[in-house]
Amino acid sequence: MKKYIEVRGQTYAVAVTGNGPPLMSLHGFSGTKASLSRLHRELETNFTVIAVDLPGHGETNAPKVTSMDQACTDLAVIQEALGFKKADWLGYSMGGRIALSMAVHKPECVRRLILIGASPGLEGEIRNERQAADNDLADWIKCEGIDAFVAYWEELPLFQSQKSRLDEGAFHAQRNERRSQTPRGLAQSLKTMGTGAMPPLWHRLEAVTHPVLLTAGEEDEKFCAIQHKMAARLPRAAEVIVSGAGHAAHLEQPKALADEIQQFLL
């Protein structure tokens, strides 16, 4: 069931499926509320899955969202509008950074946290360099358009494992999701919620008292290392490395990942 929820004069598109306790689901950069649908189908027997088009993506333009904190405030309003005071939160990549930000800034909204290939951001000069790179990419997308962006994005080393592992339907569905975006929306997202723009949360991890499941694909060495460092700081973290998967474990091994999530939640 699709819903449109107005927050501060702008409209968020939300898909609600399944039955059971609420599970808020947040997609990655250039994705939509349908991006994790393979994973959702495995989970919706036991959970009410609430998938949101994040600001600048899908059917959510959200031009008034100017920071990660503002996005978290809006998501808290959406959760309450759907009748849930507290929910489990799941996020992939960018969505994982937002879900972690929810646990830090809106802890009363979060019951448990599941992160897929996510990080707490960057610190120091590395953050400054990444923010400059994100801003340059945002300007390039606005200049060159979506097709050029998709061609570039698909060739990043982070996503190469998908080429041999995804079936044709899944690969083209993801490509079409990316092509459905707007240059303005993606540029806005990079400049306001990109890894460089995001206030780093490394120093806040010790205060996150929620149970957290950290997951990463075994071939995603960068994020395997990041989540191991996160686990050392989070008081109640469990780590899972998903075999036969790269950065997008929810696409490459949805059943195996869903089994780990359900074991954590049920």
* Token pair 């088009």: residue: 53
Q: Which residues of 121-153 are buried (b: 16+ CB within 10 A; e: fewer)?
A: bbeeeebeebbeebbebbeebeeeebeebbeeb
The overall average pLDDT reported for the chain is 97
Predicted local distance difference test score (pLDDT) of residue 246: 98
The pair phi, psi for residue 258, each rounded to 5°, is: -60, -40
In the predicted model, what is the mean pLDDT of residues 128-153? 98
The alpha-carbon radius of gyration of the chain (Å, integer) is 17
User: Mind listing the pLDDT tens digit for each residue in 171-200?
Assistant: 999 999 999 999 999 999 999 999 999 999
Q: In the CATH scheme, what is the code of domain 2-122+199-265?
A: 3.40.50.1820
Whether the pLDDT of residue 64 is over 90: the answer is: no
